Structure 1
Amino acid sequence: MATFLLFFPLLAGFSALEAQPARHHPSCRIVGTSMVCRDLSLTSAPVDLPSGVQALDLSHNQLQNLSRNTLADHTNLSRLDLHSNKIHFIQPGLFEAMNDLKVLDLSGNRLDVFAQAKIQIGTLSAVESLDLSGNGLYTGMSDFFLSDSPSLEELSLSSNSITKIAQNTFRGALSLRRISLHNNVILEIEDGAFDSLVGLSELDLSMNSIACITDFNLSRLRVLNLSRNSLELFQSPSSDEPYRLTFLDLSENKLLYFPLLPVNNVILHLDLSRNRLQSVDASDSAETKMPMTALKHLRHLDLSYNQLTGLPQSFFRTMSALEVLNVSNNCVTSFSVTEKDLLLTAKIVNLSYNSLQRLSLREGTLLALEELFLQGNALSTLAHQTFQRLPRLNFLRLEENNLRVCASETKPDENPPGCVLFSSVPKLKILYLSENNLKSLPCRAFADTPLSLLDLSVNPGIEMHQDSLAGLEHSLVQLLLRENNISRLNADMSSLRSLKLVDLSTNQLTSLPTWNRESSIETLNLQNNSLVTLESAAMAPLKHSLKTLYVGDNPLSCCENLDLVHLLQHSAVVVPDIEAATCILREGFEPVNIETVTREMCRGRKKANYIVVIVLIVFLAAIALGMLVKYCKSSKRKPIRRFSA
């Protein structure tokens, strides 16, 4: 009786709707074989669909009750999108006659009202993809939509309020291959809940409240996402049964120890970032350490944002295929690769933002390494040839350390202890050395290294040798020297013919470096310096190539930079900080925007200056003449003294 009372208003609404004729809405548009009627405040589907239409998009409308009349009896559709309406009732058996319907989107509606009436939606005979996300469904409600779905392969129940996955939840949809339960409040998964789904390959349980997995036995699963739960433990049974799992995401949980993975696995991608890992030992207690599972197929391992203090070399011995290793944002103090044949396939290693004081890389290891991230550590001492031993290294980040650069043309024993050679690194193209407290840059510091980007920023007071950039004439494209507190750039940049971007911002420069006519600089940043004039001799060689110029926050003189004013006003050069590009027209006056300056202003200033000078000369001459006249008069009045014998 209670069920009938709940069902009665829904049935009444449905009957009233049956009496209303469906209306064709001319605002719908045809896109290929689809009719799109999105966001038109419709309460029913258009009546006459053109021939050939296979998909109907009724999302973001005002549909409330789904019936044959509401859908204008369109039974030949293959795709039906009803996302974001107000649907709270579906006529039982409505989709039975839709033998071609493959994709049905019912997300973002109010189907919890329908489920409360405990009515079965009926057979979904041909539907392969069903989206029920964002409908306020809680535990058990999905059963009324899945009880007879023999062809269903893809199901989304995300963003609902489900707390438990029961054994019979998917018993009517045994063909399921992909299930999304993202963003629910799942606390419990009953044993055997997924066992009947022999074809299940992808399962998304992310953003739930699952606390532990003690017997992971879904051996046919290929993709498992358990990120953003409350996992403290993940264990698989100790058996030799082969598992097909290739992608496992356990990020953003509360794991203290490395998960106990299937022994016979083919895992390619393992994400353990943002947990509480203090060790890479697989164990549920500090006293009982479990043996490390072989991960011989693993290619991508993410351990970032944990509490690891060390990475023993033994940890990597079974990872013979590892290509990407991310251990950033931990507490690792030492990293060594000295064992032969270790990490031979690694292409990217990220050790940034740890507490690294020691880095030891044996010659013959990391032969495939292309990218190395070491920024944000405490490195001050490295073996001279650390990076010369990496034959394929092309990207290196070393900012926020405390390193020194060795001279390239001296004997090893003549270099200061702990300095690093950056010359003759055969493939290195990108090098970041900012914030290293570098005091000097020796001659030919990067010779025979094909750098295209060099960042030496935020090394206050760095002294660059005149030939410190020698050897980069044909490779260097970007040079970053911002925030170095330098008043003059000593390094010779005139021969850097490939240079396209130069950042000299936030220094104390009073003059510009010299370039020649072969320079190809396109972007020049001179912001926040002490430049009064931009010399014509320095800027003229750039006229043919310069496209972008930053000059704001400099004490520029308007009338001593008329060539610059003309360049900015009459050329294609873009000045992104034009609002801050000001100059001083007269001493003691407020700066004006450089775009407003004209030559007439400066001519007027010169004429005014001439008048001031003439007036001043006349005034001084008058004063001098007056003083002379006064002196002469005083001389005539003096009595002549006479002397007698």
Structure 2
Amino acid sequence: MWWTVAFLSLSVWLLSGMTVGNADNPHGCQVWSPTEVKCAHTDLNEVPLDLPATILRLDLQDSRLKELRRHSFDALKRLQYLDLSWTRFEYVENGTFDSLTNLRTLNLSRNGLGDAQWFNITSSLPSLQTLVLSDNRLQQLNRWTFGDLHNLTFLDTSSNAIIVGECAFCGQQRLQRLDMTDNEISTLPSRLFHPQSELVLLDLSNNRLRDDVLAKEELWSGLARLRTLDVSLNYFSIPKFAQSFKNLTSLNTIYMSSNEIQQFLFQNIVPLLNAPIHDFILRYNPISIFEEGILLQLRHLRTLDLGKTTIPSSQLQKILPELQNTKIQKLRFETGPGNFAIDNTTFGRLPGLQKLRVHSSDVRVLKANLLIHSKNLTELVLGSNNISTIDEYAFAGLESLDILYLRSNNIQTLPDNVFNPLQALTYLDLSSNNLNTISPRLFKGLLHLHRLSLSSNGIVQIDKATFVGLNSLIRLDLSFNLFTTARNVVAPSVKSIDLSRNALTVLQRNDFQGLTNLVSLSVVGNSMKTIEPRTFQALGKLEELDLSLNGIATVTSRMFEGLENVTNLDLSLNDVTEIEPYGFYGLRRLRELVIRSTLRTIQSVQATLRICGRQPPLLLAVCVPQRMFSLSAAGFRSSGTSKDGSSGDGGREPTNGNNKGSGGGDKNGGDKKGQLCCPKCGDPCTHVETFVSSTRFVKCEKCHHFFVVLSEMDSKKSLKEQTAERQGKTKKPPPAPKKVWPWS
């Protein structure tokens, strides 16, 4: 294997409070009290017989119960809540739950229950209000399935494969919420609910229902209290609502997204006009005809979602002004073929509009006073259009706008004052346009701006004054542009900046002088080969630095000086072949260092791991060829010069080969033969043998410095390899890996 990932953790983790199963919590249970027992995720193969008779809640989910017997719950007459989900029991004895006369909530989801087992469960649960049967193997629902459960208010039968029979819920007059999603139901009987049903929410999504279901008069006649109807993910094409929908005077939310609706005709919608419809969700439908007059009659409408539909632009131009007669607050739409022009007459007067999304449409121009009458608008999304021109007064009157999203358009220039009216704006996205230059006055009025994205624009340079005065700006995205230097980016308040995928080849001192409050910096993928010493000296608050996917070959001495608060440093996917002494000098709080490269030579490993005299807990992730380090023996002199001529304790000259891992020196400079010494302070490490059998880390008792001690064998190998390198001899590369045939 070419690459080995080694995680060297020098931290101590204290784990406490993880006791499992004791005198207070028998059977490995998490909770065992007079009123509640929780034995979830255990290996229990039967219901404990010593359960307190006073408990109100019992949780046995994800246990290994194979069967439920009559005596399992005999003593639990006060029990109100029982969770048996994920238990996968195979047998339920008839009358098992007879004693649970006070049970209100029962969860039997994900058990593989079939119809035969179910009839052994519901024989006597008179107080049951909530029943969850999702993800089982139920196939038939008829008048006897829930016949004795007259107090049910919530029923979940989702993710089964049921066929709904006549009058399946006729006995559940108090049922308020019914979930039958994901059952492959193709039709519903005309008589299904109690004539005076109290049903409030009906979820029939992700089935195979067709237009005939909505047209059944008797089916809907008794649902006078229904508020939410979800028939998304079915097969409706030209929906026609039965006349009995006129009785649904409480219906306020209809979900019909992801169907096959092609035509929305006025005459088919008339029965809905008596209902106070607030939310109408029609996204992801291939609508080709949306007749005029429908929106005009939905006077209570607050949310209309026509996203991902194909309504022709010409039709939208006619129906959108009808929204003036509604109480619309949230509007989303996408147009079909044809240019869609937006001006101050497109929507009319919509004073209550708060969120507007026009996505993936052929909008090309934003004219003046576009939404002058929508002063309460807080979110405007105009992404993935063809906008190329924006009038200077396009956003006039939008003093409350908080989010403006102009991503993925064709904007090349912007008027200097175009954003001046947006006094409350906190998020501005101009990414994926063609803004080659940015006017230094463009953002001057955005005093509350928190996030700004200018990525993927081809910007070459930026004026120093561009972000000056934006004292609330925290996150700045300049990725995927053509910046060759970061020196002109002056944004004192910014805490996170992304300069990934630009044209930075060199980082120099003072490049980041204008980013003094920076906490996170990403310079990924810039083909950067050189970073001058002390480049990051101004970034004293920086905590995360990502330099991955560049061309850095050498971690030079004092490259990271000044980064005292950095905890995460990523140098992966570079061409690092050498780390000079004091390469990581100054990184006092480093916790994670990631290097993935063809690293072969490190001048001295203690210089690699030295963090300016103080070694914190450090996680070093190095992905390199099989032998991680090629270096000299573990003993080093306490003074002298390094091989490259530099002085200091990092990269000290190794002792001669005769010492074989011993070395160091006393305080007077004399050698103590046969004695291993700390390469930092020179103190003898008396607790370590001179000759070690395996390479390992050693901690100095005096200064608490960590360094590596090589075994005699590794020392010989290391010296031999370095000698071969000096003489120009190199190892032959290993052979190419053979093809491994797939398992057949």
Q: Structure 1, residues 372-393: CA drift from partner, whole Å, max 9, x if none?
A: 2233333334444222332221
Moved more, 593-602 or 73-82: 593-602
Taking the aligned partners of 2:302 and 2:50, their CA distance within structure 1 comes to: 46
Match of 1:460 in 2: 503
Q: Which amino acid aligns with 1:438?
A: F
Q: Structure 1, residues 343-382: CA drift from partner, whole Å, max 9, x if none?
A: 4333223333344445556243332221222333333344
The yes-or-no answer on 1:367 pairing with 2:428 is no
Counterparts in 2 of 1:122 and 1:550: CA distance versus 1, 3 Å: closer
The yes-or-no answer on 1:182 pairing with 2:205 is yes
How big is the shift at 1:181? 0.7
Match of 1:152 in 2: 175
Match of 2:281 in 1: 249
Taking the aligned partners of 2:390 and 2:49, their CA distance within structure 1 comes to: 64
Match of 1:349 in 2: 404
Moved more, 155-164 or 289-298: 289-298
The yes-or-no answer on 1:547 pairing with 2:606 is no
More helix by share: 1
Q: Secondary structure at the match of 2:584?
A: helix
Counterparts in 2 of 1:501 and 1:73: CA distance versus 1, 3 Å: closer
Q: Which amino acid aligns with 1:350?
A: Y
Q: Secondary structure at the match of 2:168?
A: helix
Taking the aligned partners of 1:371 and 1:271, their CA distance within structure 2 comes to: 23
Q: TM-score, normalised by structure 2?
A: 0.64
Match of 1:575 in 2: 620
Counterparts in 2 of 1:120 and 1:103: CA distance versus 1, 3 Å: closer
Q: Which amino acid aligns with 1:146?
A: F
Q: Structure 1, residues 280-339: CA drift from partner, whole Å, max 9, x if none?
A: 53659989x9974865444444555x4444475677455443333444445544555724
How big is the shift at 1:503? 1.5
Could you tell me the percent identity over the aligned residues? 20
Match of 2:317 in 1: 281
Q: Structure 1, residues 469-489: CA drift from partner, whole Å, max 9, x if none?
A: 22322x111111121112223
Match of 2:261 in 1: 231
Match of 1:57 in 2: 83
Match of 1:112 in 2: 139
Q: Secondary structure at the match of 1:557?
A: coil
Q: CA RMSD in A?
A: 4.6
Contact persistence 1:278–1:308 (CA under 8 A): no
Pairs within 5 Å for 1:77-226: 77-83=103-109, 84-89=111-116, 98-113=125-140, 115=142, 121-122=146-147, 124-138=149-163, 141-164=164-187, 168-172=191-195, 174-188=197-211, 189-190=214-215, 194=220, 196-213=222-239, 220-226=250-256
Q: Structure 1, residues 555-576: CA drift from partner, whole Å, max 9, x if none?
A: 4523345411567997521123
Match of 1:495 in 2: 538
The yes-or-no answer on 1:558 pairing with 2:558 is no
Q: Secondary structure at the match of 1:541?
A: coil
Pick one of 521, 530, 533 that aligns with 2:566: 521
Contact persistence 1:482–1:503 (CA under 8 A): yes
Q: Which runs of 5+ in 2 are unaligned?
A: 1-44, 320-334, 633-694, 698-706, 729-744
Counterparts in 2 of 1:429 and 1:565: CA distance versus 1, 3 Å: closer
Q: Secondary structure at the match of 1:499?
A: coil
Q: Which amino acid aligns with 1:456?
A: L
Taking the aligned partners of 2:404 and 2:82, their CA distance within structure 1 comes to: 48
Taking the aligned partners of 2:183 and 2:723, their CA distance within structure 1 comes to: 83
Q: TM-score, normalised by structure 1?
A: 0.73
Taking the aligned partners of 1:24 and 1:600, their CA distance within structure 2 comes to: 56
Taking the aligned partners of 1:93 and 1:600, their CA distance within structure 2 comes to: 70
Moved more, 354-363 or 181-190: 354-363
Q: Structure 1, residues 184-216: CA drift from partner, whole Å, max 9, x if none?
A: 111121165546423222222221112245779
> Quick check: which has more Rg, 1 or 2?
1
How big is the shift at 1:176? 0.7
Structure ranking higher on relative contact order (CA contacts 8 Å, 6+ apart) = 2
Q: Secondary structure at the match of 2:317?
A: coil
Pick one of 465, 470, 476 that aligns with 2:518: 476
Taking the aligned partners of 2:498 and 2:199, their CA distance within structure 1 comes to: 52
Contact persistence 2:572–2:594 (CA under 8 A): yes
Q: Which amino acid aligns with 1:197?
A: L
Q: Structure 1, residues 411-436: CA drift from partner, whole Å, max 9, x if none?
A: xxxxxxxxxx2333232111111111
How big is the shift at 1:400? 1.5
Counterparts in 2 of 1:332 and 1:63: CA distance versus 1, 3 Å: farther
Taking the aligned partners of 1:462 and 1:154, their CA distance within structure 2 comes to: 62
Contact persistence 1:322–1:346 (CA under 8 A): yes
Taking the aligned partners of 2:722 and 2:622, their CA distance within structure 1 comes to: 35
Q: Which runs of 5+ in 1 are unaligned?
A: 1-22, 410-420, 587-592, 617-645
Taking the aligned partners of 2:540 and 2:375, their CA distance within structure 1 comes to: 43
Q: Secondary structure at the match of 2:58?
A: strand
Pick one of 426, 433, 450 that aligns with 1:394: 450
Contact persistence 2:501–2:526 (CA under 8 A): yes
Q: Structure 1, residues 116-173: CA drift from partner, whole Å, max 9, x if none?
A: xx757536421111223234234xx254321122211111111223334566443446
Counterparts in 2 of 1:565 and 1:393: CA distance versus 1, 3 Å: closer
Q: Which amino acid aligns with 2:544?
A: L
Q: Which amino acid aligns with 1:128?
A: T
Counterparts in 2 of 1:357 and 1:181: CA distance versus 1, 3 Å: farther
Q: Secondary structure at the match of 2:586?
A: helix
Taking the aligned partners of 1:556 and 1:90, their CA distance within structure 2 comes to: 66
Taking the aligned partners of 1:403 and 1:278, their CA distance within structure 2 comes to: 36
